[in-house]
Each structure stands twice: as C-alpha cells, then as structure tokens.
Amino acid sequence: MFKGSLVAIVTPFKNGIFDDKTYGELIEWHIAQGTHGIVPCGTTGEASTLDFDEHYRVIEVAVRAANKRIPVIAGTGANSTDEAILITQKAEKLGADAALVVTPYYNKPTQEGLFLHFKAVAESVDIPIVLYNVPGRTAVNMLPATVARLLQFKNIVGVKEATGDMRQASDLIRLCGDRFVVISGDDFTTFPMLALGGKGVISVTANIAPKDSADMYNAWERGDIAKARQLHYKLEPLNAAMFIETNPIPVKTALALMGKIGEEFRLPLCAMSPASKEKLRGVLKDAGLL
C-alpha cells in the first residue's frame, strides 16, 4: 500500500504559529516533484512540540492539501498508550490514510509491553498502521520477532525501520513476508534496504530534494539499478548534511535558505551555529539547490 519516497515533512512556523499556507504550498511542491506520500507530525515535523490542537490541525491541513492524490501517513505516536490511541483515532476521523506510530519513548517498555501497546492501538482504529522503530530517539529497539507477532492484526501493515542495521532489516523482511512493508527510516540506508526487499523510505532529505529521492525509487522499481545507485550517491552528501546538527534543524534551515519556509524552530530546538550553517550552505550549493 505504501511505497516510494514518503517525505517526513517539516512543520513551518510563522511568529510561533503553525504556518498552514506555507505547509499547503510545500505539499503542492512535493506532489509536483513526484513525492509518493506525505508523513506529517513525525520527528522531522517537530510533533513533540505541538499541542493536541496543533497536531490535529497539521494533519487536517495535510489531508486537505494532498486531496487523495498521494497518501497521508499521520504521525500519532506517544509514550502513553491511551494518548497514542486518542491521537490515532483523531487522525482517522480527519481522513488520514494511515498512522505512523512510534515505539513509546523514555519509559523503555519490554518487548511484551511493545506488543501490548501496538495491539491496543491497532484494535482501536480501522486505518492502516505503520510501526516506527527508532531506538536512537526512543531508547528501545523493537525486535523483528515482536514485529512478526503483530502481523496477526490486519491493519498493522508496515514498519519504518530506523536502526540503520541491515541485519535487522533483513530479519524483518524474512520474517514478515510480502504482506508487510518494510520502509527505511534513514536516507542513507534506502538503497541497500531496497536491495533486501524494502519498499522505500520515510525521508528527511526528500524535504529539499524530492525529485531525486522519488526518482531513485522509481529507477529501482523499473529495474534501472545503475540509475538508482547513481542517485543514491548523488544524495549522500545531502543525507549527511541533514544531520550536521539535530534533525530537523538542518533540514528546516536548508528549506529557509532555499526560500521555501521561514527559519523558525520551537524550543528546545534552536537555530544552527554559524559554522554549521555555512557548512550546510556549501553542501546545498554543491547540490545545485542554491
């Protein structure tokens, strides 16, 4: 159901308020550039700094702007199961095509706790659920065996795998089979994960290079491995630059330098250091984005 270059889209702010006009313009640009799906309210979308009403508003605007032309996979995770259920149910009512539900962070549940958490969320809604495993952010790694157990719930359809561990990705794909979609959660692992049987990426870099990111997947899907490999190496400097400082600081700064959004963050995120910003500017110039 979900494949290709799915952009983990930033949330633009203007004077401290969600800039819905700019957000809609970004989504139009992504559709024109060939992006295969929009993922609002993820890590890159600063979901952890949005209050409930803002979170719902961002999803609502994304759904309206996409207008069923490409799917919207709304970030709805929380470290409380009840809260994750609440947000996921609201996303379903707002018309999201699926929910991206991160493993609970900070409280470090066991594998059984993870299973019970996702079971409860899956049973509370009818829309498809994409699991999100990112231990570098959450301090817990959901193991392939736990993911495989969750296949008994028909609306759990995939996982955003952001460990950077190709052995774990391989185990996921081997254990879960064709019904289940494994999607890269790191731009630098997209190409190798496609080779293992993955179906795309939920991408940070696609925020600034949507066409190349989409074209890499398109080339792979039509069997043009050389072209996909070429685009992988073309994108690698941008992939690295997106993590000069904590995501989404570099990507929002890059979009601001490109004239797409205002350079505005919510604390505790803040503006890039001058040295990092100059380094980023150089990478963008080399890539032809400035």
Tokens (6 digits) for 262: 């205002």
Cβ atoms of 83 and 105 closer than 8 Å: no
Which strands form 129-133's sheet, in the order they lie side by side?
A: 37-38, 4-7, 200-203, 181-184, 156-161, 129-133, 98-102, 73-75
Q: What angle do CA 166, 107, 126 make, to 5 degrees?
A: 70
List of residues 6+ apart from 283 with CB closer than 8 A: 237, 238, 240, 241
Q: What do you get for the CA distance between the two ends of the chain, in Å?
A: 35
Tokens (6 digits) for 245: 């400082």
DSSP 35-70: --EE--SSTTTTGGG--HHHHHHHHHHHHHHHTTSS
Instruction: Choose, from 132, 199, 217, 252, the residue flagged as catalytic.
Output: 132
Instruction: Choose, from 90, 160, 252, 277, the residue flagged as catalytic.
Output: 160
**Does the active-site annotation cover 108?**
no
**Which residue matches tokens 């000069």?**
244
- C-alpha to C-alpha distance for 190 and 167, rounded to whole angstroms: 14
**Does the active-site annotation cover 132?**
yes
Tell me which residues are annotated as active site: 132, 160
